[in-house]
Amino acid sequence: MAAKQNLTVRDVMTEGAQCIGESQNMTDASRMMRDLGVGSLPICGEDDRLKGMITDRDIVIKCCAEGKDLNQVRAGELAGELFWIDVDASISEALDAMEQHQIKRIPVIDTGASHRLVGIVTEHDLARNISDEMLAEFVEKVYA
């Protein structure tokens, strides 16, 4: 499968990513992931701006394994370093950012007037739109 010509992040992203509020707890996050059938959620603040990402692995490693009460840990506490990509960036730019930061999904921001979260690019989105060689290189770099 060859990469499609001139694709941007807008062309391949999963639209409508739902946020967990930064003050919501890990029980809420876990239920939201279950109900949406996803393994990660963007974290948004009171200002509706992206604050970070949380994964199911974060909940297990940083909460469950540490014996923390999921009802007491807030999403904002696990936000970590924030990486994102502009909606009009090229697929190559998205791949480079994901490889550099060794992340499997990246939030998409419209840096135009709204500067809001508009979607997310996942491994699945990439797999449908890039060559097998590009995908293999991505997997090698991210999972190394």
H-only helix segments in 8-121:
9-12, 26-36, 56-59, 91-101
Q: What is the pLDDT of residues 28-68, one digit of tens each?
A: 999 999 999 999 999 999 888 899 999 999 999 999 999 99
pLDDT at 74: 97
Q: Which domains does the chain have, with CATH numbers?
A: 9-142 (3.10.580.10)
pLDDT at 108: 95
Q: How far is CA 143 from CA 53, 54, 75, 101, 139, in A?
A: 18, 18, 25, 11, 6
Radius of gyration of the chain (CA): 16
Q: Examine the pLDDT at 4 and tell me if it is beyond 60.
A: no
CA distance 140 to 144: 6
